[in-house]
A and B are shown apart, each in its own frame.
Chain A
Amino acid sequence: MLQKSTITSNALITNEEAKIFYEDMFLGRIFEDTCAKMYYQGKMFGFVHLYTGQEAVSTGIIKNLKPYDYVCSNYRDHVHALSKGIPPKELMAELFGKETGCSKGRGGSMHIFSSKYNFLGGFAFIAEGIPIALGAAFRNIYQKQILHKIDDLPVSICFIGDGATNNGQFFECLNMASLWKLPIIFVVENNQWAIGMANQRASSVQEIYKKADAFNIPGVEVDGMNILEVIKISREAIARARSGQGPTLIEALTYRFRGHSLADPDELRSIEEKNFWIARDPIINFVNYIKNHNLISDDEIKKIEKKVKLRIEEAVKFAIDSPEPNLHDLSKYLFY
């Protein structure tokens, strides 16, 4: 039975893993910063929800998955998509609405999809992706038990926010996941705000991980700004799911440094609150850990950062140079 995690720094990750994790977090951060620039330059449109500050959760969970595992996200999906492996070029092109985007320019920021990387979306309405994630988990046990097609049991990760945990679909899916012991992990990124609604004003029970108790699902709370905690708990949850023991609910306490979306003036959150969380920047935390444990040299870190920045520059150029979809293809992809 999983218990509440404590901070640990005992040889959890190797040097190689540290590089992968650091690069992924840094990629997520620079990508989102670039999105903000591109949006204000008029290259990106509509509702864009940036993930800045929450990188430890995406990297900490997704980088422990195998390619055949599924990730299902919500509208704050850019960094989840990157962690899962969708190339920055395809993602940026999608955000620019181009034909070379992962959703062929038909989806946009809130509808990132990739069947190649088993990324199930990208959803605009709160909680409507949870049943989809459940469906992938159901498919996994079906493949194993009925079709005998696979040896390893793929798992399904469902990312939701604090606001979604008061929605009917959340409870309905927790129930079914537990009932059928589906290989799914519900990851609640509790950044404490649903647009302008503070979690305290929306939830009768503040501790989201406790909501899992009602369905006999182990619920754990982790410090979402500490990637090591996230890694530790996610490996346990993934192993649980893969071994057929069923679902886990992970509540990651985190914070989004930017507003809800690029259109949000973000006036309700106090300066003190923001500063408190910015001081716990997960990337800076991790760099300190890396340096204290000599996991990556300063030179290597610089190399990684340079590589990431170059990848993003190339992604922007690719997106700018890519063609718009053909008008004649307006109705393409509707029916098969």
Chain B
Amino acid sequence: MFDALRSAIDEEMNKDETVLVIGEDVGHYGGSYKVTKDLHLKYGDLRILDTPIAENSFTGMAIGAAMTGLRPIVEGMNMGFLLLAFNQIANNAGMLPYTSGGNYQIPIVIRGPGGVGRQLGAEHSQRLETYFQAVPGLKIVACSTPYNAKGLLKSAIRDNNPVLFFEHVLLYNMKQEIPDYEYTLPLDKAEIVREGKDITIITYSRMRYHVLKAVDRLIEKNIDPEVIDLISLKPIDIDTIIRSIQKTHKACIVEECMKTGGIAAEIIARVNELIFDYLDSPIIRLSSQDIPTPYNGLLEQHTIVHSEQIINSIIKQLNI
């Protein structure tokens, strides 16, 4: 995964000289998760800019640079650190194209690892996608495979709007064969990972794998789920979800963010607004607990959703 991301950045930087990377330890250190390893040797210290520890200001600086013609990729060493940059991301990146009446565009990508890792402690285990979900001018994407990571990151870099690009801390070492040829993926389309007719399971990021593990067991029980990986958290690809639910009439959402104000909360509200009559039963959401992630391994495991829970929930929803 980290190689796929690196290759996306390398290809885009090679193609377009206005693309650069800004963040802590992205240069000489090679990036905390090796996403920018050795890129500074190829592109120099100005295009792979090692910053002091000042998230709000260097994110704002990247925004100012984007307004005036550059295309920065800001790396949050951990996406949680972007809480420091909330002012710049919400007020400036999210608003200036609009409040300036079109005077300025902000072609910025803000990327980095989020999600619950292995006993990293509460602050390094955050899911910021829901905090930023309500900010009107942002696009939010969550990659989940090396293949989609590369295609999506290339699209994000080429996009003329601010894109928050969420990677997952436990997926960086994931391996997958990806094409040699150049490809991009649309930022606003969900991926149908598995077609099915009995129930729609909607998920994103690392939870995709917990879902797929559950699906293996469900198939053994002759259950035929449709699995959708959201990819785009903002805007939600509601069309893909609607078409699926019109077919299956039931849905379960499996997410790693907290239950309160989560991505599932948003999807359920929208589905109710649009196709309530197609639902045979309420949509069930399986989310993380509304608590800071504890350090203790056992406790940590119980804050996030497991395949067992997914299996049990679906069986219950299908009245089997």
Given A105-B101, A128-B91, A136-B68; A121-B96 close (CB under 8 Å): yes
Contact B100 A103, beta carbon cutoff 8 Å: yes
**Contact mask for chain A residues 162-181; partner B; CB cutoff 8 A; 1 contact, 0 none:** 00000011001101100100
Contacts A176-B54, A333-B102; is A138 near B61 (CB within 8 Å)? yes
Are A135 and B88 touching (Cβ within 8 A)? no
Inter-subunit contact B101/A131 (CB<8 Å): no
Taking a contact as CB atoms under 8 Å apart, the answer to whether A106 and B98 are in contact is yes
Q: Please tell me which one of the listed residues B47, B56, B96, B98 contacts residue A146 in the complex, with CB atoms under 8 A apart.
A: B47
In the complex, A122→B99 CA distance in Å?
10
> Given the interface contacts A70-B68, A106-B98, A125-B87, does A169 sit within 8 Å of B104 by beta carbon?
no
Of all chain B residues, the one with the shortest Cβ separation from A170 is B57
Q: Is the CB of A111 within 8 A of B100?
A: yes
Given A125-B91, A168-B56, A336 and B64 touching (CB < 8 A)?
A: no
Q: B102: which of A104, A111, A130 is its contact (CB, 8 Å)?
A: A104
From A4-12, A58-66, A112-120, A189-197, give the one contacting chain B.
A112-120
B56 contacts A169, CB within 8 Å? yes
With A70-B68, A113-B96, A146-B46 given, is the CB distance from A132 to B60 under 8 Å? yes
CB-based contact A103/B101 at 8 Å = yes
Interchain CB contact (< 8 A) of A102 among B17, B60, B64, B103: B103
Whether the Cβ atoms of A135 and B62 lie closer than 8 Å is: yes
CB under 8 Å from chain B, chain A span 279-336: 332-336
Q: Report B-chain residues with C-beta under 8 Å of the C-beta of A136.
A: 64-65, 67-68
| Contact flags B137-161 to A (C-beta < 8 A → 1, else 0) | 1010000000000000000000011
B282 on interface, CB distance cutoff 8 Å: no
Q: Which residue numbers of B lie inside 8 Å of A, CB to CB?
A: 17-18, 20, 44, 46-47, 51-52, 54, 56-70, 87-88, 91-92, 96-105, 136-137, 139, 160-161
A/B interface sample: 9 pairs, CB < 8 A: A113-B104, A130-B57, A131-B63, A134-B60, A135-B62, A135-B67, A138-B70, A172-B54, A334-B137
Knowing that A115-B104, A131-B63, A168-B56 are A-B contacts, what are 9 other residue pairs whose CB atoms are under 8 Å apart, sorted by A's residue number? Answer: A106-B98, A123-B91, A125-B91, A128-B88, A132-B64, A135-B66, A136-B67, A168-B57, A333-B100
Lowest 3 A-B CB distances belong to which pairs?
A135-B64, A131-B60, A104-B101
A residues near B, CB below 8 A? Answer: 70, 72, 101-107, 111, 113-115, 120-125, 128, 130-136, 138-139, 141-143, 145-147, 168-169, 172-173, 175-176, 179, 332-336
